[in-house]
Amino acid sequence: MFDFVSFIPRAVVQSIPLLYGATGETLTEKSGNLNMGIPGIMYVGGICGVIGAFLYEQAAGESLNGFLAIAIPMLCCLLGSLLMGLLYCFLTVTLRANQNVTGLAMTTFGVGFGNFFGGSLIKLTDSEVPSIALSATSSYFSASLPFADRLGWFGEIFLSYGFLAYLAIVIALLTAYVIRHTRVGLHLRAVGENPATADAAGINIGRYKYMATCLGAMIAGLGGLYYVMDYACGVWSNDAFGDRGWLAIALVIFTGWRPNVGILASILFGGLYILYLFIPTGTNLSIKELYKMLPYLVTLVVLVLSSLRNKREKQPPQSLGLAYFREDR
Amino acid sequence: MSMHNKTPLVHISKRREMPWYWSFGIRAAAIAAAFLVCAFVTMALTGENPLAVFATLFYGAFGTERKIWILLQNIAILLCIALAVTPAFKMRFWNIGGEGQVLIGGLAAAACMILLGDKLPNGLLIAVSLAASLLSGALWGAIPAVFKAKWNTNETLFTLMMNYVATQLVAFFVIVWEVPKGAGKIGIINQSSEAGWLPQIGDYKYLLNILIVAVLTLAMYVYLRRSKHGYELSVVGQSERTARYVGIKVGRVIVRTMILSGAICGLAGFLLVAGTDHTITTTIAGGRGFTAVMVSWLAGFNPLSMVFTSFLLVFLDRGASEIATNFMLNHAFGDILAGIILFFIIGSEFFIRYQLHFRKRSKKEV
């Protein structure tokens, strides 16, 4: 029998970084900005949290304050991703640069930034620890409810996660609500669909693009923070975050630009991502590598199927990827 | 009089044409400014004086004859991939699957070298593995193109996913063919017989690759600027409707261009495996499929300018890795410098395309 009670929690912890990334990117894309810098931003978010936690742990020594141990990394993470979002906006909205290229450059920069500080932080701060292992900070991030493990399989599946996991779901639901059911969301969608019309209706295009993209970047950055602090138990290793940022971008298209659908879709992705660990293959290691293809193949199949059906509500925002210049009309 | 207060401080308008020396000057100024920022960042992190940092940067790229050859080889491969993605980009087909197409081309070459290594004469073996690389790269490019042409499937996501499928395929075959068993890598293929290895010209290991890519650059320039195909794909890129109206079969152009694009990526994989590395790993493309996109765009899709942009990126990468080694920093330092320079160049395009008009002061005083 397939072991669901141990499979589902592992799928969920895999899915949370994807969910943060996908929610952030959906919000960004709704404003017409295609931010391919998300993988880089998630690295920056993660490493900024690590830097904050590292400096705090060094300064505080043994006596960590629980509130500060969570607040400092979070603020650092949000600040780092906000700066990346601002940079992206400045280049693509104010200077109207090509969004694909700007995004790829941000990914190069962000991944480099993460790996560089991950690899050099100890040398730069002249500290005497062998590696970055923030287990003290991590224990605050991954703390679950005290009675969770007394509830059997229910506790295991629903209550065994750190607070950032629940925050991801709340943010996804909130984003979906704001986009679908509020005036701000309506304006945002107008900006993404047809900025010229939105401009004529008196909506400040630049402000909406800046706000949506920066908020999106901050949400995505939290995904990086969750990954190091909770999933990886506070241990930063270079390139460990891998291609999750790209998968998050894939999820946006996969879910048809709906963050609430993203919750289940990301858990599905998370499950596919680790399914190879649960399929018995005996001693044949090579087959495992083929099973690792599953999430990508499933994405391809869904992508093709949804383009075959070609439903109108599942299309990208119409002006996605295009810079807006009022005098171009 | 309240009208005056409402004039914005800066008014932006599009420029018409700019003399080439102006746009060249703006780009040069951007690169110079970027280098200053890079020097400042390096100084802040290492505490060295900026001149020493620049000296290390140049030493890393040009310091010894060997370093120069490695620099040229890296330029050749990056340029080859950039040339490959260019026709697709000119058509506004966002092929970010260069990485996977290179990998699969390399895998095909490695497969031929391993499986046919002792069965065919060397010349024939090289021809067969070249053909296999081109074909498999072309196939990897054609699959997303067919779906794009038929059902308008999102090509960015499709090509991106194909990268991972290719990576896992390579990972699979690396384990199947690993030498010795359990090593997790293939090692140098046919080390003793050198079967399937591209011949060396004299003592220069990398020269053949460099020459092949040089010829390819000129060919791509002619193809894009002078051929009917090149004209058709730029019409499709500018406006699909116009292309349909004048009777260009858009779907066919997309598939044809992506076959070409994928095949050239396959060639890059072949040059890497049969030409220099003589082995295959999942990281053999090393992110160059993505860097190539920037090389191509920064050069305005002009194959000749790409020689310069790929030089710039490889130079930075090599130089920065020297800095990293010297100051015992992480090697990702090069990516940070490359990112900074890219941001400056991307930003500078604005000043080439648009003009700023500042509000005039004099009116107030009247």
Q: What is the pLDDT of residues B108-139, one digit of tens each?
A: 999 998 888 888 888 899 899 999 999 999 99
Model confidence at B320, pLDDT cuts 50, 70, 90, reads confident
User: Is B59 within a domain?
Assistant: no
**The two structure tokens encoding residue A17:** 């970084």
* Alpha-carbon radius of gyration of chain B: 24
Number of domains within chain B: 2
As to burial, measured by CB atoms within 10 angstroms (0-12 exposed, 13-18 middle, 19+ buried), residue B8 is exposed
* Alpha-carbon radius of gyration of chain A: 20
As to burial, measured by CB atoms within 10 angstroms (0-12 exposed, 13-18 middle, 19+ buried), residue B265 is buried
Q: Which residue of B has its CA nearest to A90?
A: B347
Residue B46 has pLDDT above 80, yes or no: no
* Partner-chain residue, chosen from B171, B329, B346, that has the shortest CB–CB distance to A289: B171
Provide mean pLDDT across the span B151-168. Answer: 88
* Strand-strand pairing, B10-14 and B354-358: antiparallel
- Chain B interface test: which of A38, A120, A236, A301 (most B C-beta within 10 Å): A120
Contact B129, B196 (CB under 8 A): yes
Interface touch A106/B339, C-beta < 8 Å:
yes
User: Is B57 within a domain?
Assistant: no
**The two structure tokens encoding residue A98:** 């090509």
Contact B171, A292 (CB under 8 A): yes
- The secondary structure of residue A142, as a DSSP letter, is S
Q: Is residue B270 located within the same domain as residue B321?
A: yes
The predicted pLDDT at position B80 comes to 94
Q: Is A85 on the interface with B (CB under 8 A)?
A: no
CATH number at residue B81: 1.10.3470
Q: Is residue B114 located within the same domain as residue B245?
A: yes
The predicted pLDDT at position A85 comes to 96
Q: Which residues of chain A have pLDDT under 70?
A: 1-2, 127-130, 148-149, 282-283, 312-313, 329
The predicted pLDDT at position B2 comes to 46
Can you spell out the DSSP letters for A242-300? Answer: TTHHHHHHHHHHHTTS-HHHHHHHHHHHHHHHHHHHHS--TT-HHHHHHHTTHHHHHHH
Provide mean pLDDT across the span B17-44. Answer: 85
Q: Is residue B321 located within the same domain as residue B351?
A: no
User: Is B60 within a domain?
Assistant: no
Distance CA B253, CA B239 (A): 13
Provide mean pLDDT across the span B16-43. Answer: 85
Distance CA B335, CA A105 (A): 9
How far is the CA of B295 from the CAs of A11, A27, A95, B85, B89, in angstroms? 38, 29, 20, 10, 12
Q: Is A293 on the interface with B (CB under 8 A)?
A: yes
> Which pTM was predicted?
0.88
Q: Is B332 on the interface with A (CB under 8 A)?
A: yes
Chain B residue numbers with beta carbons less than 8 Å from the beta carbon of A300 are 158, 161-162, 165
Amino acid identity at A145: L
The predicted pLDDT at position B105 comes to 95
User: Is B114 within a domain?
Assistant: yes
The predicted pLDDT at position B1 comes to 43
* Cα dihedral A210, A90, B38, A41 sign: positive
Q: Domain range holding A123?
A: 4-328
Chain B neighbours among A 229-248 (CB < 8 Å)? 238, 243, 246
Q: Domain range holding B308?
A: 66-326
Instruction: State the DSSP H helix or E strand holding residue A60, giving kind and residue range, or none if neither.
Output: helix A38-60
Q: Could you identify the residue written with the tokens 């960042």?
A: B41
Q: Could you identify the residue written with the tokens 């765009």?
A: B297
Distance from the Cα of A242 to chain B's closest Cα (Å) equals: 11
CATH number at residue A261: 1.10.3470
Distance CA A135, CA A127 (A): 17
Provide the number of CB pairs (under 8 Å) joining chain A to chain B. Answer: 158
Q: Peptide bond preceding B180: is omega within 30 degrees of 0, i.e. cis?
A: yes
Distance CA B84, CA B296 (A): 9
Model confidence at B187, pLDDT cuts 50, 70, 90, reads confident
The predicted pLDDT at position A170 comes to 95
* Partner-chain residue, chosen from B151, B335, B343, that has the shortest CB–CB distance to A308: B151
Between the ranges A7-16, A211-220, B182-191, B206-215, where is the mean pLDDT highest? A211-220
**The two structure tokens encoding residue B35:** 């280098």
Q: Is residue B351 located within the same domain as residue B228?
A: no
As to burial, measured by CB atoms within 10 angstroms (0-12 exposed, 13-18 middle, 19+ buried), residue A168 is buried
Distance from the Cα of A189 to chain B's closest Cα (Å) equals: 20
Chain B residue numbers with beta carbons less than 8 Å from the beta carbon of A123 are 328-329
Amino acid identity at B180: P
Q: Nearest CA to A21 among A304, A271, A224?
A: A224
What is the signed CA dihedral for B37, A88, A299, B167, rounded to 10 degrees?
Answer: -10
- Chain B interface test: which of A44, A87, A90, A109 (most B C-beta within 10 Å): A109
Tens of pLDDT, residue by residue over A99-123, are 888 998 999 899 999 988 887 777 7
Instruction: State the DSSP H helix or E strand holding residue A219, giving kind and residue range, or none if neither.
Output: helix A205-226
Residue B362 has pLDDT above 70, yes or no: no
Distance CA B248, CA B338 (A): 40
Q: Is residue B99 located within the same domain as residue B129?
A: yes
Q: Nearest CA to A244 among A219, A223, A259?
A: A223
- Chain B interface test: which of A87, A102, A104 (most B C-beta within 10 Å): A104
Interface touch B332/A119, C-beta < 8 Å:
yes
User: Is B61 within a domain?
Assistant: no
* Partner-chain residue, chosen from A95, A96, A104, that has the shortest CB–CB distance to B293: A104
Number of domains within chain A: 1
Q: What residues form DSSP beta bridges with B354?
A: B14
User: Is B340 within a domain?
Assistant: yes
Whole-angstrom distance between the N-terminal and C-terminal Cα of chain A? Answer: 62
Tens of pLDDT, residue by residue over B252-275, are 999 999 999 999 999 999 999 988
Contact B280, B273 (CB under 8 A): yes
Number of residues written out for chain A: 329
Residue B28 has pLDDT above 70, yes or no: yes
Q: Which residue of B has its CA nearest to A307?
A: B153
Q: Is residue B337 located within the same domain as residue B188?
A: no
Distance CA A313, CA B62 (A): 55
Distance CA B29, CA B36 (A): 11
Q: What residues form DSSP beta bridges with B358?
A: B10
Q: What ipTM was reported for this prediction?
A: 0.88
User: Is B54 within a domain?
Assistant: no
User: Is B105 within a domain?
Assistant: yes
**The two structure tokens encoding residue A92:** 């693509």
- Chain A interface test: which of B164, B178, B316 (most A C-beta within 10 Å): B164
What is the signed CA dihedral for A35, A39, A45, A48, rounded to 10 degrees?
Answer: -120
Residue B250 has pLDDT above 80, yes or no: yes
The predicted pLDDT at position A302 comes to 82
Q: Which residue of A has its CA nearest to B182?
A: A285
